[in-house]
C-alpha cells in the first residue's frame, strides 16, 4: 500500500527537476531527469539533482561580463575585434563599411570567435540596395522597393536563402534586416527605397519571406526601425526625427510589427520622437514608454514581445549624439528596457562598462533586469547550454 504514493512522489519530483531554458520551449527532459523505479520495490525512487540552465549560464559570467553581453560594437578589423572580445567579452561585433574586408573574406572571424567566452554575435547591415555591406563578397541585390516591384514573395524568399547561406559562410550570425518601415518617400531619402512598399500589408509579406529564409539558414534577423521611421520628418543620422502621432502609426507603421512580432526576429528601435508616446526630447531608443509598448504589446494590439530589443546606432547618429555622450546613451537605453546597445567603435567600451557597473551598484539598472536581458540575448544567439 505504500508503493503507489511513493511512485507518484517520484514522478512529481521528476517534473520538478525538468530543466527549462527560460524561453518556454526548452528541451525535453532527458532520461537522466526521470525517476528510476524498480518494479515491486518498496524503496523510494531516486531522481537527479535539479538543474537550472539559465542560472548556470549566468553563473559563468561576472557582472561586468553580463553587461558586456548587452553591447554590440563596430570594429575596424581582426585586431580591433579580437582585443575588445578578449579584454571585455562584448556580446557582439558589427561589421560596417569601414571594416577591413579581409575580416570576412579570409576567414579571420573564426580566430576572433575563439576569444569569446560564450558564442559571439557577428552582425552586419545587409538589406540589399544601397545598404549592403557584403555586396563585394556575395553579390549585389536590389533594394527592397525594387524587389517588391519585380519579385513575388516566394521568389524573394528563395533569393534570400541563397544570400543568407553566403552570409553564414562568411561567419555572420545576425543581419540587421529586414527594414519593415512603411514608406512612400522618394527612393534616395533616408528610408525611401529601403522600404518594400507604402502598403503595410505588402511590407509584411516581403518581410515575412525574408525572416523565414534567414531562419532556414541559421542567420538571425532584426526588424527595424520601431515604431516606424517611414513617415519621419528627417534623418536621424543628422538630427532629431519626428514621426506622426502614435494614433497614426497604429494603422500603418505598426502593422508589420503587429503581424510579425512572433516570427523569431529581434527588433531594433529607432531614434524617433513620437508624439503621444515618447517624452519630449527623449527619442524612442532610450524611451521606457517605447520599450514597454513593444514588450507588452497591448498598446498597439500585438502579442507581448519575448525577443531581444536592439537600439539603433547610439554613437554615430546626431539624433542621439547631439543630446548625450555614448556612456549616457548606453545607460539610458538599457535602463529604459533595451537588451542590446549598438554603436560603431570600440574606443568607449571600457568607459561604458565602468558606467554600467556603477549604474548596477547604485540601483539605476537593476541586476535582475540585466540578467533578463543577458538571457534574451543568449537565447537569440543560441548560447544557452542544453541540459
For the annotated catalytic residues, the residue numbers are 237, 312
Q: Which of 181, 373, 145 is nearest to 272 (CA)?
A: 181
Q: What gap in Å lies between CA 383 and CA 375, rounded to an integer?
A: 9
Q: Which residue, 254, 338, 368, 261, is CA-closest to 305?
A: 261
What is the DSSP code (8-state) at residue 251? T
All three cell numbers of 92: 557582439
Strands (E), the chain: 71-75, 92-95, 121-124, 126-128, 131-132, 174-175, 220-226, 241-242, 266-269, 272-273, 309-311, 341-343
Continuous segment of H or E residues that includes residue 136: helix 135-138
Question: 116 with 72: CB under 8 angstroms?
Answer: no
Among 104, 103, 148, residue whose Cα is nearest residue 129: 148
- DSSP run (H or E) holding 308: none
Distances (CA, A) of 19 to 27, 29, 33, 164, 331: 8, 7, 9, 32, 33
CA-angle at 252, arms to 210 and 126, nearest 5°: 30
What are 26's three cell numbers? 526548452
Q: Do 131 and 125 touch, CB atoms closer than 8 A?
A: yes
- Output b/e per residue, 268-306; b: 16+ Cβ within 10 A: bbbbbbbeebbeeebbbbbbebbbebbbebebbebeebe
Q: How many residues does the chain have?
A: 387
Q: How many Å apart are CA 58 and CA 19, to the nearest integer? A: 15
Q: List 217's β-bridge partners, or say none.
A: none
Tell me the sheet residues that pair with 95: 75, 124
Amino acid at each position: 500500500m505504500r508503493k503507489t504514493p511513493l511512485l507518484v512522489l517520484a514522478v512529481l519530483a521528476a517534473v520538478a527537476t525538468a530543466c527549462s531554458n527560460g524561453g518556454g520551449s526548452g528541451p525535453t527532459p532527458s532520461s537522466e531527469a526521470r525517476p528510476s523505479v524498480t518494479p515491486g520495490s518498496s524503496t523510494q525512487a531516486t531522481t537527479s539533482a535539479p538543474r537550472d540552465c539559465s542560472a548556470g549560464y549566468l553563473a559563468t559570467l561576472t557582472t561586468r561580463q553580463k553587461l558586456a553581453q548587452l553591447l554590440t560594437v563596430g570594429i575596424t578589423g581582426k585586431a580591433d575585434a579580437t582585443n575588445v572580445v578578449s579584454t571585455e567579452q562584448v556580446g557582439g561585433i558589427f561589421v560596417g563599411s569601414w571594416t577591413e574586408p579581409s575580416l570576412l573574406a579570409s576567414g579571420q572571424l573564426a580566430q576572433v570567435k575563439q576569444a569569446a567566452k560564450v558564442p559571439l554575435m557577428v552582425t552586419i547591415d545587409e538589406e540589399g540596395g544601397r545598404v549592403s555591406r557584403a555586396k563585394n563578397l556575395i553579390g549585389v541585390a536590389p533594394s527592397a522597393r525594387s524587389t517588391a516591384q519585380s519579385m513575388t514573395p516566394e521568389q524573394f524568399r528563395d533569393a534570400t536563402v541563397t544570400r543568407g547561406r553566403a552570409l553564414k559562410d562568411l561567419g555572420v550570425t545576425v543581419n540587421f534586416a529586414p527594414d519593415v518601415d512603411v514608406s512612400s518617400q522618394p527612393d534616395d531619402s533616408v528610408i525611401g527605397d529601403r522600404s518594400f512598399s507604402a502598403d503595410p500589408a505588402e511590407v509584411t509579406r516581403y518581410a515575412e519571406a525574408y525572416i523565414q529564409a534567414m531562419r532556414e539558414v541559421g542567420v538571425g534577423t532584426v526588424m527595424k526601425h520601431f515604431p516606424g521611421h517611414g513617415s519621419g520628418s528627417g534623418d536621424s543620422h543628422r538630427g532629431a526625427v519626428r514621426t506622426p502621432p502614435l494614433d497614426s502609426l497604429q494603422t500603418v507603421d505598426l502593422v508589420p510589427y503587429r503581424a510579425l512580432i512572433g516570427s523569431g526576429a529581434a527588433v531594433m528601435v529607432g531614434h524617433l520622437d513620437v508624439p503621444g508616446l515618447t517624452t519630449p526630447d527623449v527619442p524612442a531608443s532610450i524611451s521606457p514608454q517605447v520599450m514597454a509598448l513593444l514588450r507588452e504589446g497591448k498598446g498597439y494590439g500585438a502579442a507581448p514581445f519575448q525577443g531581444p530589443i536592439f537600439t539603433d546606432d547610439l554613437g554615430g547618429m546626431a539624433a542621439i549624439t547631439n543630446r548625450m555622450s555614448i556612456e549616457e546613451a548606453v545607460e539610458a537605453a538599457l535602463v529604459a528596457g533595451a537588451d542590446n546597445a549598438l554603436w560603431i567603435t570600440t574606443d568607449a567600451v571600457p568607459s561604458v562598462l565602468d558606467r554600467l557597473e556603477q549604474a548596477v551598484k547604485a540601483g539605476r539598472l537593476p541586476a535582475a533586469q540585466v540578467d533578463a536581458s543577458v538571457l534574451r540575448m543568449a537565447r537569440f544567439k543560441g548560447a544557452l547550454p542544453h541540459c
